[in-house]
Chain A
Amino acid sequence: MTDSTSTLAASAARRTGGNMNWLRHVKSAFAYALLALAAFVSIFPFFWMIVGATNTSAQISTGKASFGDQLLINIANFLDQVDVVRITINSLIIAGAGTVATLLVTSLAGYAFEIFRSKFRERIFAAMLLMLSIPFAALMIPLFVMMSRFGLINTYQAVILPTVAWIFMIFYFRQATKAFPTELRDAAKIDGLKEWQIFAYVYFPVMRSTYAAAAIIAFMQHWNNYLWPLIVLQTNDMMTVTLVVATLNSAYTPDFGVIMVSAIFATLPTLIIFFVLQRLFVQGLLGSVK
């Protein structure tokens, strides 16, 4: 019966071949139009950001969408209002140290959860997965009180420490470790390597693309972090790039030209990373669901 219907359908398709072709053209035209619209909408804010940086604040707030001649003035104002070197160093220290610490701690844990299995550790892992969905808002008040008791308010450590044991990353590394060939570990063991040596000299080099992808995601996360730095960083000399963008934006009389320059400045590092390492970037995103 299925056969007869399929033959029927096939012959119907043959009969209306010309029609179907025409329909297919319409459909693919529709797909292109849809994708073009989506691409336009996706790219437009970037265009707006770059155009805005070349216009005056008044022109931006009245919707001028063509290039102007204010770029240098806006950059000069930005450099004038913001200690760019300082905030860049702050952001780089926080994102850099945060990324290295996150990768070290979470890869050790992810590796061990997969390689050294025990019933009890499986339970811990399951409990950690449950914690994955605890919202940060539920932690921030005790964390803030804790940091002020330790006298760590307004320090790099206060920003970095709570973000190091990122459970998502532990999960990511465990998933990635499933692809790590056990023969390599066995061979290294026969050669008399200790467990930490196997991790450092065999696992790490073999998994470098996993590490690179994780580094990209972690760096972005730390670079763009807003809520927690907003709470623990309090003086101007400790501000990060992200915090400065927000501060400029919430000014009583915001200078949109300067804001656009600051937004470009905040987006540029991640944009460059994305274009240079696009493949790794996507791999990092997908790694945890494979």
Chain B
Amino acid sequence: MTIAENSSKGGLLARSRIARREQINGWMFIMPALVLVGIFMIYPILWSLWMSFQVGRGMNLSFGGLSNIIRLTQDPILLRALFNTGIFLVVQVPIMLTLALIFASALNNPKLIGRGFFRTAIFLPCVTSLVAYSVLFKSMFAEDGVINAFLMWAHIIADPIPWLLDPFWARIVIISAITWRWTGYNMIFYLAALQNIDRSIYEAARIDGVPAWAQFLYITVPLLKPVILFTSVISTIGTLQLFDEIMNITNGGNPADSTLTLSVYIYNLTFRFMPSFGYAATVSYVIVIIVAILSYVQFLVARDRRA
């Protein structure tokens, strides 16, 4: 009896020693990442909250109370940046995801000839750096550039379109550019998800005489809902951070701030105009709050889906 008691005690001790060692290892392995995240993410984000209550030029900051927040509500340029970012979000993301979904379902047909070629070709834009492709788009959409030359040759337009000089067209260029760069990326996610759908579902639908468009709408889309949600979240976050394209296609928001985004505005406030770090930090918190709200909405949608 004592022996049994002893051994069970010993086992417990040994087990707790193992458990403790596991605990230590768990922390040791995570520590480097944790320290780096702490220094380069958590600390900056808290510091930036503190900064957003400070005013002054460059690094000579002093406490300014709510003055940055008051400035926020009276800033027409911020309003423009918000409006532009909103337009890019509402117009570009749905177009891109719809195109990606259509291409993916067309490519999911195993009998399609040249499937590998089409897939690689449509994915190819994802390989380019954001700066390099922006530079290409800027030259293609020049007033006398190749796009106008082609459209006029094809008699689609009579006069060249002032792509980068007109607010409306400049937005179209940015939207086309982002769509070009990211459609293939999203398509790959859809293709992978489509390949996991049992083909016999479509077989059954076809035998039941369900037309292709209804199969797409009532089978494909619902089954892909999680992936569609995932891609719309990453596209939304990406659009909120839009920077490289604006800097390199429309020179940081031209014409007349019609393509100015929040990220570019923060950059301008910090490094281009009279540096006002405090106010720039306040504006950066606008993005943080928007992202937080959108994440919360996404969480609600995800929960709904599970229910």
Contact = CB atoms under 8 A, between A and B. Distances in A.
**Mutual binders A and B:** yes
Nearest to A39: B121
Contacts of A136: 241, 263
Contacts of B130: 224, 226
B33 A162 contact: no
Contacts of A62: 144-145, 149
Contacts of B184: 42
A52 interface: yes
A38 B112 CA distance: 15
- For the complex of A and B, the 4 pairs showing the least CB-CB separation, nearest first, are A9-B209, A116-B26, A112-B29, A165-B36
Interface string B39-53: 011111101100100
Interface residue SS majority, chain B: helix
A42 B125 contact: yes
B40 A161 contact: yes
Interface of A: 2, 5-6, 8-10, 12-13, 27, 31, 34-36, 38-39, 41-43, 45-46, 48-49, 52, 60-65, 104-106, 108-109, 111-113, 115-118, 121, 124, 128, 130-131, 133-146, 148, 161-162, 164-165, 167, 170, 195, 199, 220, 223-224, 226-227, 231, 242, 245-246, 249-250, 256, 259-260, 262-263, 266-267, 270-271, 274, 278, 282, 285-286, 289
A242 B136 contact: no
A9 B51 contact: no
28 contacts: A6-B207, A6-B209, A9-B207, A12-B209, A35-B112, A42-B121, A42-B180, A48-B136, A61-B144, A61-B145, A116-B29, A131-B41, A131-B42, A135-B237, A137-B284, A138-B287, A139-B44, A142-B43, A143-B40, A144-B270, A145-B277, A224-B129, A224-B130, A226-B130, A227-B243, A267-B129, A270-B128, A271-B127
B161 to A, nearest CB: 13
Contacts of B287: 135, 137-138
Contact of A134 (B29, B41, B192): B41
A161 to B, nearest CB: 6
Interface of B: 21-23, 25-26, 28-30, 32-34, 36-37, 40-45, 47-48, 51, 59, 99, 102-103, 106-107, 109, 112, 117-118, 120-125, 127-140, 142, 144-150, 180, 183-185, 188-189, 192, 207-209, 212, 227, 230, 233, 237, 240-241, 243-244, 247-248, 251, 262-263, 266-267, 270-271, 277, 280-281, 284-285, 287-288, 291, 294-295
Contacts of A49: 136
Contacts of A117: 26
Contacts of A135: 237, 240-241, 263, 284, 287-288, 291
B45 A138 contact: yes
B121 to A, nearest CB: 4
Contacts of B21: 195
Contacts of A63: 142, 144-150
Nearest to B116: A278
Nearest to A136: B241
A161 B146 CA distance: 41
Given A38-B183, A142-B281, A267-B129, 5 more contacts: A27-B212, A31-B112, A250-B248, A263-B135, A285-B189
